[in-house]
Amino acid sequence: MSYTATAQALADTGDLARVAASMAGRCVATGLDLTTYRGIIAAAIALGQRPMRDCPRWDADQELITAVHDLEIEIGHRARRVDDIARTIRAAIRQARSWLTSEDEDVAARARAVIADCRTALEILEPIPDRLRYAAARLIAVPGELGETYAAAYALIARGRTLPHEGRWVTGARTSAPTRQPARL
């Protein structure tokens, strides 16, 4: 696969955009206030897609916050892959430049082709790190936008812990608490 093809595959953030757009659509379906999930909307748009419509609602705040965290992780993985391939491409350019002085015209022609492929790939990749950083930064802000309580829950999930399943959901709907029988003495 050419460096250009690899760069095009990494630059296509459509998969990440669809996840963010679906998340925003689910926030709409749940009835959340726009200000609480505007970071998700910004991330979706930065990655290349507007929020979706007709999505299922979030069943629990835990589900939403976990999805935000998971998308942040995926964006981070993509950013690292973009950085890694950009380093590899720069190294390939340095190597190909050393072949330009070859007496063999086929080697020199191959070097020029590699350099052209690498330059095209770097042009494709150039805006991607900023888009990914912006999307990640907007997602990081989502728990704070959901409120102080949910920022703490987000931190809990980020540390590998889980949220309780009972309690209040963001919309204010109450779940039925399990009834406890008094202890017998």
pLDDT digits (tens, 9 = 90+) for 119-172: 999 999 999 999 999 999 999 998 878 875 466 666 777 787 766 554 445 445
Report the candidate in 86, 67, 82 with the shortest Cα–Cα distance to residue 18: 67
Q: Which amino acid is at 96?
A: A
Give, in order, the Cα–Cα distances in Å from 156 to each of 66, 127, 139, 160.
Answer: 10, 33, 16, 7
Q: Determine the pLDDT at residue 129.
A: 97
- Residue 41's pLDDT is 96
Look up the pTM and report it. Answer: 0.77
Find, among 176, 167, 7, 166, the residue nearest to 85 by Cα.
7
Q: Residue 137, class by beta-carbon neighbours within 10 Å (0-12 exposed, 13-18 middle, 19+ buried)?
A: middle
pLDDT in tens, 54-89: 999 999 888 998 999 999 999 999 999 999 999 999
Give the pLDDT band of residue 32 (cuts 50, 70, 90).
confident
Q: How far apart, in whole angstroms, are the C-alpha atoms of residue 115 and residue 121?
A: 10
